[in-house]
Amino acid sequence: MPALAVAQALQGEGAAVAFIGGDRAEAALVPAAGYELSRIAGRGISRTNPLAALTALGMAAAAVPRARALLAASAADAVLGGGGYVAAPVGLAAATLRIPLVLTEADSHLGLANRALAPFARRVCLSFPIAGRAGGRYRVTGRPIAAIPEDRDVARASFGIGPREQCVLVFGGSLGARSINHAALDAFARSPFRVLHVCGARDHSALAARELREGYELISSLPPERFAAALLAADLVVARAGGSVFEIAASGVPAILVPYPHAAADHQLGNAAWMADAGAAAVIADDALDAPRLAAEVDALLADPERLGRMARAARGLARPDAALEVARELLAAAEARER
């Protein structure tokens, strides 16, 4: 999603954009957004299985010649690496072809691929300040996100939310978040407010088999523009603390965050602390999450409009709405410097 946001900004600046990716979310999202997608094979590096890790490293090495051929064929002027197993061979291919490389890091720690590629990069664009990664090639731009709609009344009407109804938006990562899914269904089973619960495809069929009250809408997934509208329509969000914290901030919506406890370097805890320290979010540890705790936290917040207002203002204060354009301009500057 950050890469798609930068692509849109690049097009606005007159640049042509193409993607190299794998078989995960980009296989559907990139063509749906209207961009060409070339694929290379690869997989994530296991931190617990040495044999699987060696296999993944072998696949990454084998993908470098394919990436070199794709970059040469496209006559790329600059390359953006968004982290992950696809970025590593493409970034290395760019370095061997002397094509300027710019990296983006979506989380509050530098991922494995970005740590490996950083010495070859002209610029590393950080979502958060990271200790030991300041100055020089490192720059804090915020996390690139798509444009956020501005008309809250239109967003609420699109979900059938009345002018005086309160609405809680619940979501996890791309697959959903099982602990949040089950806690939310039990916590809000008799609540008076509207619930938009984006549960992910993995758990949808099992959760949909349960009897849901009127006003509780269970949704497998939302396309990006509808997700943005759901954020704007909500009075409160219950979510994980991945890269979506920047979309939450840009929408100016208060949040209860439940960091994923197995995230690399526990970066979701850092993301959540960034929101909480500013007064924009409350945090519940995953192992402390249950239906009574979640219901109590949500009820207390919805009953305190002054606190919700303070949290909303704090969230907007954290927003970096121009991050995508800033990263796009780093890429364009890299391409221009290469031409000179």
Domains of the chain, first to last: 2-145+321-339 (3.40.50.2000), 152-318 (3.40.50.2000)
The pLDDT-based confidence of 131 (bands split at 50, 70, 90) is: confident
**Model confidence over 178-197: pLDDT tens digits?**
899 999 999 999 999 999 99
**Model confidence over 36-83: pLDDT tens digits?**
998 888 767 666 677 776 776 777 778 889 999 999 999 999 999 988
Q: Is the dihedral of CA 257, 260, 264, 265 positive or negative?
A: positive
**Model confidence over 288-303: pLDDT tens digits?**
999 999 999 999 999 9
How confident is the model at residue 46, as a pLDDT?
64
- At a CB cut-off of 8 Å and minimum separation 6, what does 21 contact? 27, 30, 37, 38, 39, 40, 86
Rg for the chain, CA atoms, rounded: 21
**Of all residues in the chain, what percent carry a pLDDT higher than 70?**
96
Out of 7-16, 258-267, 275-284, which region has the weakest mean confidence (pLDDT)?
Answer: 258-267
**Could you tell me if 167 and 156 are in contact, meaning their C-beta atoms sit under 8 angstroms apart?**
yes
Q: Where are the beta strands (DSSP E) in the chain?
A: 18-21, 36-39, 79-81, 101-105, 123-126, 138-140, 167-171, 194-198, 216-219, 236-239, 255-257, 281-283
How confident is the model at residue 225, as a pLDDT?
87
DSSP H helices, 209-264, are: 224-233, 245-251
CA neighbours within 13 Å on the CB side: how many for 262? Answer: 5
Residue 81 CB neighbour total at 10 angstroms = 26
Query: Is this prediction's pTM over 0.85?
Result: no
How confident is the model at residue 267, as a pLDDT?
83
How confident is the model at residue 54, as a pLDDT?
75
The token pair that represents 57 in the structure block: 């490293």
Is pLDDT at 176 greater than 70 in this prediction?
no
Out of 19-23, 288-292, 315-319, 327-331, which region has the weakest mean confidence (pLDDT)?
Answer: 19-23
